[in-house]
């Protein structure tokens, strides 16, 4: 289990996101958690220079639907990358394992299919206290980390494309 805040970053090492078009897909399930992830994500993207006009936020019912939402954004908008934000909390049945596995594989599949950054900002915790700690609590905010990852990956793709 992480014991330190992993959401701290050096702003001088983050590329300028001023002209980046970024999609964000947010799960409505566990909204106490996902609302905090979204808040951290948008605040961080703004600090990196992204404008609200260049962000497209959509909601899906649960984390299982995040890959489909990402695919919808890539099919129907001009986003350069997508951030998937969700929260799956372990229960008493194997449902947790199925949802987490399908979500992770789906996000990866969409990224490879479209050759664009699709970021896995999904908490997979054993209990709600862990989720709270990772969505703005003592262990930071996974939404911040997902935003930084998206900006870095979009910048990397642009750099490689423009270098040839």
Residues annotated as catalytic (active site), given as ranges: 95
Cβ atoms of residues 116 and 82 within 8 Å? yes
- Residue 38 parent element (H or E): helix 31-47
Alpha carbon of 59 to those of 10, 49, 72: distances in Å? 30, 23, 11
DSSP 45-78: HHHTT--GGGEEEEEESSGGGHHHHHHHHHHHS-
């Amino acid at each position: 289990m992480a014991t330190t805040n992993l959401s701290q970053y050096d702003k001088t090492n983050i590329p300028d996101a001023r002209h980046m078009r970024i999609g964000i897909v947010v799960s409505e399930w566990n909204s106490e958690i996902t609302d905090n992830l979204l808040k951290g994500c948008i605040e961080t993207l703004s600090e990196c220079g992204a404008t609200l006009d260049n962000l497209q936020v959509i909601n899906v019912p649960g984390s299982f639907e995040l890959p489909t939402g990402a695919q919808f954004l890539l099919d129907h908008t001009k986003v350069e990358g997508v951030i998937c934000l969700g929260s799956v909390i372990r229960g008493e049945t194997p449902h947790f394992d199925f949802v987490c596995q399908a979500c992770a594989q789906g996000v990866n599949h969409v990224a490879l299919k479209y050759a664009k950054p699709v970021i896995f900002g999904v908490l997979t915790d054993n209990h709600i206290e862990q989720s709270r700690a990772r969505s703005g609590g003592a262990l930071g905010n996974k939404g911040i980390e997902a935003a930084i990852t998206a900006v870095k990956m979009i910048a990397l793709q642009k750099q490689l494309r423009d270098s040839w």
